[in-house]
Amino acid sequence: MPSAVHSCNRLLYKLLFVIICVQCYSFAEAQGNARISEKLVTLNAKSNSLSVILKKISKNTGITIYFNNLQLAPFNNVSLNVKKRPFTEVMHDLLDPRGMGWVEVNDSTITIRKASATTESSTIPLSDTTISVSGKVINEKGSPIISATVALSGTSRGTTTGLDGTFVLNGVPSSASITISSISFLTQQVSVKGRRNLGTIPMKEYVSDLDATVVKGYYNTTKRFNTATVYTVKGEELAKQPVSNPIMALQGRVPNLVINPSSGLPNAAIKFQMRGQNSLSTQSLRSEPLIIIDGIPYPNTIQAGALGSLQITNDQISALSLINVNEIEQIDVLTDADATSIYGSRGGNGVILITTKKGKSGTMALNLTLTTGFSQVSNKLDLLNTQQYLQLRKQAYKNDDLPIPDKTSVVKNRNNYDFTVWDQTRYTDWQKVFLGGTATTHTANLSVQGGSPTIQYLLSGNYSTQKYVYPGQNKYQIGTTNLNISGNSQNGKFRAQLNNSYTFNTILSPGTDFTRLAVSLAPNAPSLYNAEGSLNWEPDSTAFVKASTWVNPYAQLLRTTQATNSNFRESADLSYQLSDNISVRTSIGFAEVRASSLSLYPIASTDPFISTNTGTALRSTSKSQSFTVDPQIAYSKEFSTFKIEALLGASYQSSKQELEYIGGEGYTNDALLKSMAAAPIISGYNSSSQYKYVAGFGRLNFNVLGKYLFNMTARRDGSSRFGPNSQFGNFWSFGAGYIFTQEEYVKRTLPLLSFGKFRVSYGTSGNDGISDYQYIELYQPQSGNSYQNTTPLISLGTINSDYHWETIKKLEVGLELGALENRILFTAAYWRTRASDQLGRFPLPATAGADAIVKNQDARIQNMGWDFILNTKILNKPYASWTIGANFGIQNNKLLARPEGVYNGYGFNRFVTVGEPFTGFVIAYRSKGVNTANGLYQFETRDKNISTDVDNFFVDALKIKTIPMTMGINNSLTFKGLNFSFFLQLTKQMGKNYLFDPAFTSFNPGSFSSMEPEFGNLPMEYMESWKNPGDISALQKLTSRNTANPLRNLLNRARSSDLAWVDASFIRLRNVSLSYNFPNERIKKYHLATFSVFIQGQNLITLTNYKGLDPEIQSATSLPLLRTIVGGVQIGL
């Protein structure tokens, strides 16, 4: 483990020792508090809400007062003027006239609740036997609930729970039921059924959607008082989804968050963008949102290989696949300026905050979750069988006026073995062979948590193993451990939180993605094995020199890749309350992601008839480290008519990336493949970079009368990616909100409207998304060349120390509404983002010596769109609930200004014009079908004529928009212990036509090759290709020649035309979850706290007219997203 990790460990252990010492001291400290009855109140407050008055009394007396905001909401115009008056008299004067009461919990704590009636309305049957009933009321974590009301249902007679959560209620009819209620918990009804001891009764916590915590990184707020756009996905929703990457659990759940996985492999790289692309340059490193886990910046994609050493995932993996979904408490997605500008340049493309689970006080609770299931490819392409395939191959020879080869042909080669050597009656469904497997998965998750009010802990571990759908012995294993310790001093002033997480991932995979072979291999290809079980290379028995006639696909199973990845995160969050209004806080974090791979290409995987074949080994290692420190000081004070919050802070980040590749070639013995010293030929490559970042920031927030909201942030960033004169940039934001339902006239005229808020925000952020050290001239060795035994250096770019930050300006206007006591919540937001001073690499002529220069360009771009959110609570009862939610996003973009004479290589091409989209579209030739006379593709020319002459086509005749519109619909139903939910994703988009996928068009359709890259088979639609003059067809005639010819040139144009794009819209049943929680009375005899069973499904059903493998992946050479079904059991002790 690196020395930096050991240093962080030592620091955190010291901090933990300090916490423990503080606890010991605090427990021994004398309290010296007066009893409630002896407390005196001195206060003068006019026209305040009752909740504000109670808070002031609490500060004045030191007594903790618990209350429900919703119960006190009607009491807005309250005044109090007392001097040294007994606390109990003041509380009676305030609460009694308003039908409220209070219960003393201990010497320094009371709970406000509705007053009980003085008379009973008894509904007790006279013939029913009455008994004394006892029990214990706890929360979901097992901690006792103090002062919960326990009443006989239908009467006002009841009692309250004690400090340990227990109660005794006398005179209860044996057939009656009791009702249990408490502030912040859902009311629960329990049937007595003659039982004298009801045992432990757990209650579910209730938090109003508007008062739920919204995490904004450096500070928290609530949805009610938030002036920004923040979308939250709770850990409960994430846990319902059997996904290997937490980002995949966000698909369809956040409007205008576009997520594009590169394949269905568990660690495949994922590209995602929030509200469009804010940078023109394709080299931008910051086109994706900033990801922060527990305060630590975290990469999305890491370079896990080089030069094909990790070919199956194109040398890249998603670092987020190393995050265990079960350890996440919630994910918050920050979008607009008010939410992101405090992150400065890092938040220009949005921010994704991942908060992991923390320990909670209560008796020790152990939870075990066991899951097992499987994944499969859910769709197959309709490909040619052997008879159809040979028919089209013969048609291709006929089109070329060539004789059809057979077994008597003199010329036999890789382009005709399907006729001259292979069995023409043989048929193999290669999709079934290569993609028809079942990827089993098994997961175990164990957690232990608990603690006292002053120190809490959480220790969890997760292990998961799954196979691939490919043939062979392959597997994907991942294990995670997580430790969280939280604590505070006895007086609550000092708080500390320590997090430690480690993930280890091992992979054994074949050397390639079998998807391309599954769809393009000829259906009459030979059998994979000989009769004795060895690989079949199908030699030509009639040849003078014996040689194989194909590359056996199962040779890829011998070309294995062994990969090991790890993720280590450690953080500490320390805070101290200097006074009632001022606190200081420091966050320290360290993260490291390591990836290594070893790819072996043994001699055994090569043609056995070529004696000169040798083995190859490729080894790569990469490391990414990040260290952050964020000190802050916060001020908060509540006055009679407004509340003010202020924050000042600084941030320091240092990150390093290292990549090393070593290749060995020429091995003559497979046993030596893992020894680089045994390789006759060794090549290598390495790179490293370091990035440093420093910032100062501030925030000022006002909440006036609970209805006028103002939030201002400012930040100054410094980045090592800029030269000495341009390292710093300034960014700011302003947000305002108006809760108009607080106005009396709105309450009178719109009684059904329980909440209404209008908000607006505007601000700036930046972008330093370029490679490191580009402001100086960099050199790298020119591999493969030497001069007088010296390796020359080549320039990577010329000097420019004057380029500076990109600027991103964001505007948003939003409306939030709540109706029917907030059972219906609706949000609509219009947003607009403008970016200028675009950074990019500008190509230079060869005479300049360097190939490019990094500089700013005078160009402005704009993204704009709408977000819509609707959440409804159709049913909300103690025994049942039903909620439906939906979100919808629309986005577009356009170019506002551009410099003259700037084209490809700098983010522009000659088809981008001011006022039109700059990205999210393709330029396409306009197809005019197939010429009925000669069977060739024809296209529209610049003068609107139709031609088959490739030099006359008008390339910008058509622009096809590719930006998707996505809608998500969530439905959740709970009845007693039964929970059922499903999520639908609806996407409107254009996609790549699979008929023109590289799997079928990297060669001429109708041609064939039995050697790498093997090809031949085609989709069923090619049966309708042009054959004779007069035929009307959408596909041009086939050819047996796989060479550059007029058909090939026209095919290349077709791949860049409107023929290559089709409607790829889909409706996908993204997730289904069904679970049942067994009631306590059935499991307590087994000494269990909770017991539930569940079944979950992901990507179960897809409705689409798209005929490719997957409307999301849109590739016939990459594994599609898999259908996954798992079941499991969850046990709590």
Identify any residues that bridge with 698 across adjacent strands, giving them in sequence order.
648, 714
Q: How does strand 728-739 pair with strand 582-601?
A: unpaired
pLDDT for the residue 292 = 92
Identify any residues that bridge with 927 across adjacent strands, giving them in sequence order.
939
pLDDT for the residue 11 = 42
pLDDT for the residue 976 = 87
pLDDT for the residue 284 = 46
* Contacts of residue 862, Cβ cutoff 8 Å, sequence gap at least 6: 832, 833, 834, 835, 893, 894, 895, 896
Judge contact between 61 and 87, C-beta under 8 A. yes
Q: Which two tokens stand for residue 667?
A: 């091995």
pLDDT tens digit string along 953-1003?
565 556 777 788 889 999 999 998 899 999 999 999 999 999 999 999 888
Cα distance between residue 948 and residue 530, in whole Å:
48
CATH topology of domain 130-202: Immunoglobulin-like (2.60.40)
pLDDT for the residue 17 = 41
The residue type at 694: V
Compute, in degrees rounded to 10, the torsion defined by CA atoms 1117, 1123, 1129, 1133: 60
* Contacts of residue 743, Cβ cutoff 8 Å, sequence gap at least 6: 707
Q: Region 241-248: what's the mean pLDDT? A: 92
Residue 267 confidence class, pLDDT cut points 50, 70, 90: confident
Judge contact between 583 and 495, C-beta under 8 A. no
Q: How many CA atoms lie within 13 A of 83 on its CB side?
A: 0
Which of 107-121, 334-348, 577-591, 639-653 is predicted with the least confidence, judged by mean pLDDT?
A: 107-121
pLDDT tens digit string along 880-914?
899 999 999 999 988 888 765 554 444 455 567 78
Question: How many H-runs (helices) and E-runs (strands) does the chain carry?
Answer: 14, 56
Q: How does strand 130-138 pair with strand 166-173?
A: antiparallel
Report cis status (omega within 30 of 0) of the bond before 1013: yes
How far apart, in Å, do the first and last CA atoms of the chain sit?
35
Which of 315-319, 364-368, 406-410, 787-791 is predicted with the least confidence, judged by mean pLDDT?
A: 787-791
Q: Would you list the DSSP string of 336-371?
A: SHHHHGGGGGGGTT-EEEEEE----SEEEEEEEEEE
Phi-psi category of residue 313: left, alpha or beta, with phi > 0 → left and psi -120 to 50 → alpha: alpha
pLDDT-above-70 percentage for the chain: 89
Residue 7 confidence class, pLDDT cut points 50, 70, 90: very low
Cα distance between residue 748 and residue 751, in whole Å:
6
pLDDT-above-90 percentage for the chain: 43
Q: Residue ranges per domain, the chain?
A: 1-30, 35-114, 130-202, 210-359
pLDDT tens digit string along 606-634?
989 888 899 999 998 999 999 999 999 99
Cα distance between residue 914 and residue 897, in whole Å:
6
Averaging pLDDT over each range in 276-280, 515-519, 956-960, 1046-1050, which range is the top one?
Answer: 515-519
Residue 106 confidence class, pLDDT cut points 50, 70, 90: low
pLDDT tens digit string along 774-833?
888 887 777 666 777 787 888 777 888 888 888 899 999 999 999 988 889 999 999 999
How much is the mean pLDDT over the chain? 85
The residue type at 1035: L
* Contacts of residue 224, Cβ cutoff 8 Å, sequence gap at least 6: 210, 211, 739, 755, 757
* pLDDT higher at 641 or 735: 735
Q: Which two tokens stand for residue 1102?
A: 């897809």
Classify 279 as helix, strand or coil.
coil
Q: Region 527-544: what's the mean pLDDT? A: 90
Do domains 35-114 and 210-359 share one topology? The answer is no
pLDDT tens digit string along 399-430?
999 999 999 888 899 999 999 999 999 999 99
Judge contact between 881 and 897, C-beta under 8 A. no
Residue 37 has pLDDT above 70, yes or no: no
Judge contact between 579 and 633, C-beta under 8 A. no
Residue 549 confidence class, pLDDT cut points 50, 70, 90: very high
* Contacts of residue 251, Cβ cutoff 8 Å, sequence gap at least 6: 259, 985, 1070
pLDDT for the residue 2 = 44
Q: Would you list the DSSP string of 817-879?
A: EEETTTTEEEEEEEEEEEEESEEEEEE--GGGSSSEEEEEES-EEEEEEEEEEEEEEEEE-SS
Judge contact between 450 and 312, C-beta under 8 A. no
Residue 847 confidence class, pLDDT cut points 50, 70, 90: confident
CATH topology of domain 210-359: Ferric Hydroxamate Uptake Protein; Chain A, domain 1 (2.170.130)
pLDDT for the residue 399 = 94
Kindly report the number of other CB atoms within 10 A of residue 578's CB atom.
12
pLDDT tens digit string along 1067-1084?
999 999 999 999 888 888
pLDDT tens digit string along 851-869?
778 888 878 889 999 999 9
Which of 9-13, 192-196, 501-505, 528-532 is predicted with the least confidence, judged by mean pLDDT?
A: 9-13
Nearest to 685 by CA among 753, 616, 613, 621: 621
Residue 769 has pLDDT above 90, yes or no: no
* Contacts of residue 393, Cβ cutoff 8 Å, sequence gap at least 6: 418, 419, 1006, 1008, 1016, 1040
The residue type at 926: R
Choose the CATH number for 35-114 among 2.60.40.790, 3.10.150.10, 3.40.50.880, 3.55.50.30: 3.55.50.30
Classify 410 as helix, strand or coil.
coil
Judge contact between 733 and 712, C-beta under 8 A. yes
The residue type at 155: T
Tell me how far CA of residue 1072 lies from CA of 615, 876, 886, 982, 1091, in angstroms: 47, 21, 16, 4, 20
Judge contact between 177 and 166, C-beta under 8 A. no
Classify 407 as helix, strand or coil.
coil
Task: Kindly report whether the global pTM for this prediction surpasses the value 0.85.
Answer: no
pLDDT for the residue 156 = 57
Cα distance between residue 8 and residue 712, in whole Å:
34
